[in-house]
Structure 1
């Protein structure tokens, strides 16, 4: 598989939606087992070599564990710091069956299993325990989907390193099913209007409590029916859409209020990493200039290795 695999939202959509619902279920664990971290960072999953993994979660008695969505083998992998390891397959299962199987496995391992409730940020959400919808899974589509997230994550991490101010990790929010990296000016923002489906407004307002310039990747949907990268600011200056973004195929999506470049355009370029970095940098510069962000936090070249390693 290439570093930037081909994606086809129309053909891959059943697998994308299945993965989204599996990640919603897994995401309830860090949501309920961690203390709240600013902007909900504790709930997000990280891209791993095989899929998406939680942060280490407390299990009681000093133990900790993680749950990983293995996109290669189509299973959930549970790892505990006492050496215990378990897996729960999800291919061919409904979310209701998967919830039951995962809960039983966790409880048998004496691990916490707060898996009640249902998905967030989706319209007409169905409780996990009642979700009997068939969840198709195409192994090739799953590998390509993970490969695209991994490629985006690699560039997002390099981009994150270019900012000396507060910045989020590159992490996947399972509610919206997108990978995001967000920079902060340090200034408070006006209260966010909220309005996301099946997400309390107080959560959204805490996430946007301070000014942000954010970029991300999502595999399709939400107004762009193909995989794409996006960038936006909150609050968003009225004239932001007039700014030029790079590469030339990037554009301002007026309905979304975001800059967009399709994944296909990035992947087809001579240097996809450089094309994506140009999009991230140009959109950040446009928003930062119009919002009068501090200018002393920008670094222009990623540095690999710690300063101590250069001694």
Structure 2
């Protein structure tokens, strides 16, 4: 076993992930309301930190604050540039309890932010203050999931370095609870149809305003009960799903219009990092080749600078 790649099980993770996703939505919405709008909603995301997930610095008043999930100590810490901070413990607690305490602690720090207090991209969308349903938190499972995020973040960062065109940060989207990185061709895309649950179409249309090749990691769902890597492009050329991708365990879902590679298939290889990197590279090539991207102008190799 490669110690950087913990064994993950959707059945063991699912209840904890369902709760933590809603906690991260609350924190992510605080960042959303406090930051200037960035293209493709990049102002809303969280980032993998050495101990969990972080908003990074958020401007506020004459200073800034930051909210961090610590999945090692199992708490959330709100830190201010004034030197003040407050903690919120993570344990099997309801979303309503977490929501109430977080805003109480922010009030103590004199941080006032009003959010849209219902989930996005989830159905049903129970208001956070009323959600007594989601209350699971398995510390061991969350530690395993976070350990996987750390390693995946490193591989995604390596993949991102080989592109000189416009590219997103490696960032964590709390709405779908996935770590993602997106490359752009530089050309505008057809208007996106929208249709995500509890998400305004105009937000989706701005997010996909330009041609993209995107990949990410996702913990799975009841319909697809496996943590998995995915890769898609928008718009999707008719021959995208017919392109050869690696490793051999990767497959294309016609229903989803995406390539998938199960986490367990990466975990079980002799070289998990290499298997994931080749999946990212070959699925990008499938998007770029079928979409007629100017690959020579968009790709780069700085390995000569590292010698």
- Tell me if TM exceeds 0.5: yes
TM bracket, shorter-chain basis: over 0.9
Q: Distance in 1 between matches of 2:218 and 2:31?
A: 21
Look up the match of 1:9: 10
Alignment of 1:189-228 (within 5 A): 189-221=189-221, 223-228=223-228
Structure 2 residue runs of 5 or longer lacking an equivalent are none
Calculate the aligned-residue CA RMSD, in Å. 1.6
Contact 2:18 2:134 (C-alpha < 8 Å) held by counterparts:
no
TM-score scaled by structure 2?
0.95
Distance 2:274 2:283 in 1: 14
* Alpha-carbon distance between aligned partners in 2 of 1:157 and 1:221, rounded to the nearest angstrom: 25
Distance between the aligned counterparts of 2:98 and 2:223, measured in 1?
Answer: 30
| Pair 302,155 (structure 1): closer, same or farther in 2 beyond 3 Å | farther
Aligned partners of 2:134 and 2:281: how far apart in 1?
A: 41
Relative to structure 1, the CA distance from residue 256 to residue 301 in structure 2 (aligned partners, 3 Å threshold; closer, same or farther) is farther
Please identify runs of 4+ aligned residues in structure 1 that moved more than 6 A: none
Q: How far did residue 299 of structure 1 move?
A: 2.5
Does 1:155 pair with 2:168?
Answer: no
CA distance in structure 2 between the partners assigned to 1:162 and 1:173 by the alignment = 22
CA separation of 1:75/1:115 partners in 2, compared to 1, >3 Å: closer, same or farther? farther
Q: Work out whether residues 103 and 115 of structure 1, in 8 Å CA contact, stay in contact via their aligned partners in 2.
A: no
Residue in 2 aligned with 1:292? Answer: 292
2:68 corresponds to: 68
- Residue 93 of structure 2 contacts residue 137 of structure 2 at CA under 8 Å; is this kept in 1? no
- Per-residue CA distance 1:212-262 (angstroms, 9 max, x = gap): 000000011174210000001100001111111100011111111001000
Please show how residues 114-133 of structure 1 align to structure 2 within 5 Å.
114-133=114-133
> Aligned residue pairs: how many?
305
Q: Any stretches of 5+ residues in structure 1 without a counterpart? A: none
- Equivalent pair of 1:42/1:55 in contact (CA under 8 Å): no
Where does 1:1-311 land on structure 2 (aligned, <5 Å)?
2-60=3-61, 62-221=62-221, 223-295=223-295, 296-300=297-301
TM-score calculated relative to the size of structure 1: 0.94
Deviates more, 1:92-101 or 1:112-121: 112-121
